Amino acid sequence: MGVTGYAGLEALRLLLQHPACRVTYLASHSHPGEDVAAVHPHLSGLGLPALRPADPDAIAAEADVALLSTPARQALVLAPALLDRGVRVIDFGADFRLKDPAAYARHYGGPHTAPGALGQAVYGLPEFHRAEIAGARLVANPGCYPTAALLALQPALAAGAVLRDDLIVDAKSGASGAGREPTAAGHLPEADENVWPYRVAGLHRHGPEIEQELALAAGGPVSLTFSPHQVGMSRGLLATCYARLARPLPEAEAAAIYGEAYAAEPFVTVVPGLPATKPLRGSNAAHVAVRVDPRVGRLVAIAAIDNLGKGAAGQAVQNLNVMFGMAEDTGLPRVGLLP
C-alpha cells in the first residue's frame, strides 16, 4: 500500500527480485485504477497488477503479508482490519512504533484508536528485536532517523559505557526522506546544494521513538537532543551521535564493544574509517564507526544508511524474511551502487 511513494516504490523494487515473494496487490490512494507504470515509467513491461484502493477483504484473498507505506494514522484503520482477516502486516509508518498511546497522541495529532493492534506490535529493528519479530503478526518498521541513531548508540548504552543523560543525535537525510509530495523545500532550486535543520528542539516526531528504544538499551529513561537536517541529495542518511563517557574508555575498547555487538549481523558493519552515505546507496547495509574524545570525555558514534533501504523498504523486507523464517538477507543487496 502506498506503492507510488518513494518507500513503497523501493519495497516493490526489492520484492520483484525476491525469490520467495510474489507481488499480488498494489494499492494507491492517489492513483486507483491506473497502471503503476503510468506513475513510474521504469516499471513498464513487468506485468504488474493495476493500482487498486486498499480493500482489506480483497487483500486478504490474495496476500499473506501487507506492507503499508501510508501517511500517519491510516494504518490505525488498515492494520487491524488486515490482522482480523489473517494477513500479517509490516507498517512503514509510526502508528505502532510508540508503546505509549499518550505519546502518540501528542506527536501525531490525535488519539491512538487501535490499542488492540498496538499491543501486538513489535518494533522492527532486527538487530535488537529479532526473536520478537520472528513470531510477530504486526511489525512497526522503524523510521530512518531512529534506525541510524539506534545502531550508533545502543551498543554503548547496553554496555554501560556511556551515561543516559545528554545524548545528542545530529542527523542528515536525503530529500526522499520527506516523501514524494511536492513542497517548497523539496523544489530543486531550493534543495540542491543546500543543507538545513528542521523541527529541532524536540519537535521532530522521531525523537520519542529514539528515546523509547534507547531507554530499553540503557535500562532507564534517557535525555536526548535530536537535530535532524535535510541535505540536497536524493537518498542517504548520516547520524553523528554523542554521549558522555561513564568511565575512561580507550578507543580500542569502544571498538571492541561495537565489534562484538555487530559481529553476527548480516547488514551492519563496523568500519575502520568514517562512514559515508554514497557507498550504501541502493543497499540494506549500515556502516557504523566509533571514536572516543578523551579531552571532553565523549564517545562519538556514527552510522550511515540508505534512508530508503535500511531506513525504510530494505528493513521492511529484512523483517519480512525474519517473520517467515527465511534467511535474513534473502533478496536484499548488501553492496551499494558506486559511483
So which residues are the catalytic ones? 144
User: How does DSSP classify residue 196?
Assistant: E
Return d(Cα 84, Cα 151) in angstroms, integer: 33
- One-letter amino acid of 299: L
- One-letter amino acid of 329: D
Return d(Cα 327, Cα 100) in angstroms, integer: 32
C-alpha dist (Å) from residue 301 to 142, 143, 216, 245: 19, 19, 18, 12
DSSP for 303-324, please give it.
EEE-TTIIIIIHHHHHHHHHHT
Spatial contact of 303 and 173, defined as CB atoms under 8 Å apart: no
Is the CA virtual torsion 59, 326, 328, 45 positive or negative?
negative
C-alpha dist (Å) from residue 52 to 2, 25, 315: 10, 8, 25
Return d(Cα 313, Cα 144) in angstroms, integer: 10
Spatial contact of 2 and 69, defined as CB atoms under 8 Å apart: yes
Q: What is the dihedral of CA 204, 208, 211, 213, to 10 degrees?
A: -120
Q: Please, what is the Cα angle at 143 between 139 and 144, to 5 degrees?
A: 135
Residue reference for cell 543497499:
283
